[in-house]
A and B are shown apart, each in its own frame.
Chain A
Amino acid sequence: MRLSQVLNRQHIDFMFKKHWRVQGKRVPIDTGLEEQLKAKGIPIQDALEFVKEKPQEHEHLNIVGPYERPLPLDENHPAYKKQPCFTLRSTNVLLEGISQAQVLTKTIIAEDKLPPKIEELAQVPAPTAIHENIKKAILSANVFDCEQKKLPKLKDRERPAYNFPRVLGITDRRRNEILTNKLVQLVEKSSDSEVTMSRYILNDVESKTVFEKEDDLIQFQDISHILVTSNKPVKHDVEKDVTYNEIPDLHPIKCTVTLPPEHFYEEESKYPIKPTVNVRHPHTTWLHYNKTEVSNIYETPVTEQQLLGRSLTHAFTVASAYAKQLHGEDVKDLPEPIYINCIQTDGQKYHFGVLELNTLNVDGTEGTKNVWYCKNNLQLYGSSRYFGGMPVLENYNNKVYGYINALYNC
């Protein structure tokens, strides 16, 4: 609606405002009185000196608002440090993806290979009732959930300026939350009670690890969307004769590229569960890939390599935060390796991984190294959505559940 249409009808106030503006700029006319009085020797004083009130000083009031305001981010901030810390959060990805993650965490990779026990457990077929329930969970996450929030804007490459009507639907955050939680619930319900009693499940807990690499301070902050913990640390029997992908040379890129330097940080690592808790040992950590939240800092789309790198850094964050809680902040080579399972998913694709953390000394490429076993790109379903007004689930793959179940039970 054009505002002028309504405003023009009748608006006395506009006329008054105009009047005030004209009247407010009056120029005093020189009447010649001052000179006449001076000539007669009468002293003249400025009238404003008598009229003008002296400015009253008020005390500075400290107004208490409904909530505490954050402190200004400057050099007086308590968390301010002079040395910048290169920070990786779960909303950012590494430029070079998995190879940069390898360099940062000093890890060698066993591609397409999980510890034999997991592979063994994954082949055990699940009853059909479980698969029916998984299908229900997929449909409930993609189709039947009632969230109606704004989805990302639609764009047409041919006509980039065209504005499509905004679509409302289930956001990727909620979609992943529903699906992964339902999967974990199903796994738990179908597992032995002895196993489930020794596990604990946490949602949305943050781990943080700070470490030095070749004189650079680096911190990883990551949220485990689901963290399965157990009362005993996980152990895996690992095959010896495996071919590993060695740590690559990133030259001319530096390993901290695209990690934004920050001056406000804490120097201590943080594992979310306190050491007094019995079931504190990390077992499996689930990481969601929410397309609307994770991005490169330079606007380019996230590549598959970058996604895989995300899994590795995430597992490293949780494992090293736990190791530092266990052995102290300055531990380098660990007395015995720490294992952690990691599942990254965008709902459809699943990336499984097991990290064997041997050392926290990530300088150089020699000496003890960490090992990352992974199996990537397993698809749970082809598509699930409303197609022509009908709920659809296509190409359900019943093998993925086996791996999820195996990671939980191993």
Chain B
Amino acid sequence: MYLNRVHRTFPKLKKLVTRRQSQAVLSEQNEYTDTPEYPPILDMSLQGRKFRERQELHQKIQAINTVEEKQIALNMPRYYGWKCIIFNEDKVPYNAMPLVQYYTRSHFIPVDKLPEYYKETSEAADAVVKEIKGLIEEAILIENGGVDRKIITSTQKKEQPQLEDALAKCIVKQINRIISNNLADKVEHVLSSQVDYDPRHEAFWFIGGVDAPINVVRWRQQYKYLKDRWYESIDRPIQYLGTPLLTVRNRLPLKPILPFEEAENPEFKVPKFTAEPCAVGYSTEHRHGTNIPGFWPGDFDEFGLVSYHGRGHILGRRESFGPEDHIEALHCQAMKASFGWLLAQANYQGFTTFNDVTYPLVTQTVITNGQLWSLYAYQLNTIEMHRDKVDSPKSNICFGTKPLKLYDSIENGKVQGLNEDVLKMIVQFYLNAPEERDHEMKPYLGEEEQVVADIEDDNKRCWLENRYKHLVSNRPKHYLLPEVYLWERIYKIQFNSRFFEAKRRPFELGINPYTRRLDQHLPPYIPKGLRPYPKSRKKFETTYYPKV
């Protein structure tokens, strides 16, 4: 209208508005090639298309620049969080070893001594053991009765395991202190390593090849065209949660125990375990997947050397499980803890459960109660085990000993039978020096932007920082989660007794509220007074969710 009127008043104005010229596309000089070039043949079946969709998602996550954005991207499909199988460090059900091995793809090699890899440091360790032997004995004596401590136990858990872990923590602190003080002058990496007490270790990954849960099978059974795919497996999200007593980490990674090519050795193949995890005793919980190796992205010391864990939970297990299963439970704990920590570290290097590591990572794990010590060395070769990689030949390798006694007993204020071999192995874990690798460490991260703090745009940086911390805190939502109330299940779903009512609830409209995506929410409103320009039409703040 307005424009028309202007045009009528100033008829020449029309001519001033230039039209973009349209041009015919120049035909290529040579349309024909000697050999025919066909487009790739694509599988257009439903499975084929879905497979390509998944691969596209993996490519997109790989292309994201920063660690934090990758973590948000992993959580993008679920606003209410993934229904995760919870892998607690200190909860191992009966006969869980096959499951843990398959879910972490760990080949377990029982050993009595440390592998060949530690041979170089053997002599140096002997000398150190001689020096510190007396101190260690003294420390064990002081911690076992020389000091009055008031240990505050929570009433939520059993008391005995908590007391044992508290004692183990004191002894571990002393042993770590004695060894690192002794080695500080001898080896370079000890001074620069950081020691953490009770860090937060969390890891998140997907596992494929597990039987579909019954509700998924039931849902598929509604549709005829899914008849041949009723029992097809789906990806299961897994969340590891653990708190070691003490960890040591450094700027550089440890050397690989075995060459990376050995990962595909068929000897190390891990057998499948397809039964439902709840059949073994693992439960599920809705939460956002988190990968945290004890520090936020951007810390200097990104690679773990040693982690110490308590074994108090063994006391909480039933006696009828038997001593063999208790030892297996320790192996399970070690595999979970080592894999969980390494996976989280790998995530900070830019790899995710969809983009496999390009080099191996190594950690050393100790499980102890002060007297009994189990030592493990773990090499991470693969973290990609979702449904498209079920048959991947790679596997991780874990060397582990049985629980060994550091000393036999304490009698008359003296430590009887200190086992120097065990002490030597612990010292060797510290002597194992990390090294600079000669390949690129962070191939999937940006060159200039590797963490959110590197981003130049102020708004984007602050927004991503806050969103990431909010996401991984897993704090409860402001609104209650959607649910089907019991009365609805009875009077609306099981018995259609209220057919006359308007259908408004999600289950009546055929909507699953849990498939809501993370970015499906209204961004914060900008009040009129705060908008940048009086006539700005932008009512909502910008969000910077990764585009996956």
B473 touches A277 (CB 8 A): no
Q: Is the CB of B194 within 8 A of A189?
A: no
- Contact of A390 with B by CB under 8 A: yes
Contact between A148 and B473, CB atoms less than 8 A apart: yes
Interface string of B168-208 (1 = CB under 8 A from A): 00100110010011101100001110111101100000000
Contact indicator per residue, chain B 433-461, by CB within 8 Å of chain A (1) or not (0): 00000000000000000001101001001
Contact assessment for B180 and A185 in the assembled complex, using a CB-CB cutoff below 8 Å = yes
Known A143-B296, A144-B298, A168-B473: A189·B191 in contact at CB below 8 Å: yes
| 6 contacts across the A-B interface (CB closer than 8 A) | A133-B192, A136-B301, A146-B295, A168-B469, A178-B196, A277-B147
The yes or no answer to B383 lying at the interface (CB within 8 A) is no
**Segment from B30-38, B148-156, B266-274, B326-334 that makes contact with A:** B148-156
Which residues of chain B are near A181, meaning CB under 8 Å? 195, 197
Given known pairs A185-B177, A277-B146, A278-B138, the reply for A129 and B191 (CB within 8 Å) is yes
Residue B462 CB within 8 A of the other chain: yes
Interface, chain B (partner A; CB < 8 A): 135, 138-139, 141-142, 145-150, 155, 158-159, 170, 173-174, 177, 180-182, 184-185, 190-192, 194-197, 199-200, 292, 294-296, 298-301, 413, 452-453, 455, 458, 461-462, 464-466, 469, 472-473, 475, 480, 485, 487, 491
Q: B149: which of A140, A178, A272, A390 is its contact (CB, 8 Å)?
A: A272
- Inter-subunit contact B155/A133 (CB<8 Å): no
Task: Judge whether A390 and B300 touch: CB under 8 Å.
Answer: no
Does the CB pair A189–B181 fall under 8 Å? yes
Q: A389-B452, A389-B464 are in contact. Are A189 and B190 (CB under 8 A)?
A: yes
Contact, CB under 8 Å: A144 / B155: no
Besides the known contacts A10-B487, A144-B298, 6 further A-B residue pairs in the complex with CB atoms under 8 A apart: A67-B159, A146-B294, A273-B142, A273-B146, A274-B145, A391-B298
Chain A residues whose C-beta falls within 8 Å of the C-beta of B150 in the assembled complex = 206
Interface residues of A (CB under 8 A from B): 1, 6, 9-11, 66-67, 129, 133, 136-137, 139-140, 143-148, 168, 177-178, 181-182, 185, 188-190, 193, 196-197, 200-206, 270, 272-274, 276-279, 386, 388-391
User: With contacts A140-B299, A185-B195, A270-B148 known, is A196 near B181, CB below 8 A?
Assistant: yes
Q: In the bound complex, what is the Cα–Cα distance between A276 and B147 (angstroms)? A: 10
A129→B491 CA distance, assembly (Å) = 71
Report the bound CA distance from A129 to B177 in whole Å: 20
Q: How far is the CA of A139 from the CA of B300 in the complex (A)?
A: 10
Known: A133-B192, A144-B296, A273-B147. A386 touches B465 (CB 8 A): yes
Chain A residues lying within 8 Å of B199, measured Cβ to Cβ, are: 145-146
Q: A181-B197, A278-B138 are contacts. A189–B299 as well, Cβ < 8 Å?
A: no
Q: Are A188 and B453 in contact (CB under 8 A)?
A: no
CA distance A247 to B193 in the complex (A): 47
Chain A residues contacting B469 (CB-CB under 8 Å) are 148, 168
Q: How far is the CA of A391 from the CA of B485 in the complex (A)?
A: 46
Which single residue of chain A is at the shortest CB-CB distance from B488? Answer: A9
Contact status of A193 and B181, CB under 8 A, knowing A143-B296, A146-B295, A182-B195: yes
The closest CB in chain B to the CB of A169 belongs to: B469
Given the known interface contacts A67-B159, A146-B200, A189-B191, the answer about A202 and B300 at a Cβ–Cβ threshold of 8 Å is: no
Which residue of chain B has the shortest Cβ distance to A204 in the bound complex? B149
A389 touches B298 (CB 8 A): no
Q: Report how far A129 CA is from B188 CA in the complex, Å.
A: 11
CB distance from B309 to the nearest CB of A (A): 17
Report yes or no: B159 in contact with A388, Cβ–Cβ below 8 A.
no
- Choose from B158, B177, B197, B455 the contact partner of A201 (Cβ within 8 Å): B177
A145–B485 CA distance with the chains assembled, in angstroms: 40
Partner pick for A390 among B190, B453, B475, B487, CB 8 A cutoff? B453
